[in-house]
Amino acid sequence: MTTDHPSTPRTASRRTVLTAFAAAATAGTPLLAQLGSATPAHAATAAAAADVEYASNTVLYRELAGQEGTTFSRRFRRHEQFDTSMTAVAPFRRTAILALHGGGIEIGTSELCLGIAGYSPGDAAGAPILPTVHDYWMFEGLLSAGNKDLHVTSKNCDDHVALATAASHLNVLSLHGCTFDQLRLPAGSYPSAGDRRVAVVGGLNKAFRTALVTELNAAGFPAIDSLAPAWASLLSEYNGDHTNNPCNRTMLGMGAQLELTTELRKSLFTDPDSRGGRAATWDKNGEFVKFRDACRRAIETVEAGQPLL
């Protein structure tokens, strides 16, 4: 989930808080019992502390030093390109795909990042499966449980590879996950049939948002423009409009992001509930490919209007 407008500033890391709680628990009674017997003020402090997250990727990397590859991972691909001809015009990659909260943090976003970029989510070797490929970057939680503790709010992302990737492209499509209930859509408003599969389209590139909404709806995935007048006030926490959001830190200063409900993300896989299950079943029911290709068509539409610089 992207929250570009958090209600309170968060400066400490969740890991610091959890470590402190663990230390307290070893001092005597179980931690839950300690919290249960705490005064109201102490209980409120503990509840607030449990909601603290890492202030940036830099803080997370520092506090989890030595745990990359076990607690979390970073995967990226920047495709080699060069132009040695004085007469021919070489193509260049205009769009990058990001998944800031992949792995077990917001399930399905890593697989979508790879798929939209032109790769198989089930191929560890990473061979391309589509003729056109895009650069990508993703941060993934690898824990068996508790991956949400690794969340860094999008506008606080300062991973230098992620930001360099965004800054060197005209467009970024950033993939995120949320729950249907978090959106707090008015009852019966959308989708009208009660379908909880919803794609909230955000980012500052209006043309990109329009293309995504058009293609996703045509492919059977309910999608809404979070910055359209009808939704702007309701979905302000999910609209990706912050200028520090990596989706907008492109060469053009604007991009797009997708907030995808749990139901939508799970519908793309036959077995969505584990990393191995998603890797093995992304191409089984056809929904993943339909969603992937809708996003890629939207990218093609946007790129067609962007001449070589």
Q: pLDDT tens, 166-213?
A: 999 999 999 999 999 999 998 888 888 889 999 999 999 999 999 999
pLDDT of residue 130: 96
Better pLDDT: 84 or 236: 236
Instruction: For residues 150-177, give the mean pLDDT.
Output: 97
- What pLDDT score was predicted for residue 51? 56
Among the listed ranges 80-94, 122-136, 173-187, 233-247, which one has the minimum average pLDDT value? 80-94
Q: What is the pLDDT of residue 190?
A: 86
Distance CA 291, CA 277 (A): 18
Per-residue pLDDT at 187: 82
Inform me whether the pLDDT recorded for 21 exceeds 80: no
Cα–Cα distance measured from residue 235 to residue 182, given in angstroms and rounded to the nearest whole number: 10
pLDDT of 253 over the 80 cut: yes
Residue 50 pLDDT class (50, 70, 90 cuts):
very low
Q: What mean pLDDT comes out for the span 237-243?
A: 97
- Per-residue pLDDT at 83: 78
Q: Does residue 223 carry a pLDDT above 80?
A: yes
Report pLDDT digits (tens) over 104-141. Answer: 999 999 999 999 999 999 997 778 999 999 999 999 99
pLDDT on residue 80: 76
Indicate if the pLDDT at residue 33 is higher than 60. Answer: no
Query: How is the chain classified by DSSP, letter by letter?
Result: ---SS-SS---S-HHHHHHHHHHHHTTSS-HHHHHHTS-HHHHHHHHHHTT---SSHHHHHHHTTT-BTTTEEEEEE--------SSSPPP---EEEEEEEEETTSTTHHHHHHHHHTB-TT-TT--B-SSS--EEEEEEE--SS-GGGG---GGG---HHHHHHHHTSSEEEEEEEE-HHHH-PPTTTSSTT-----EEEESS-HHHHHHHHHHHHHTT--EEETTSTTTTTTTGGGS---TTSGGG-STTS--EEEEEEHHHHHHT-SS-SSHHHHHHHTTTSSHHHHHHHHHHHHHHHHHHT----
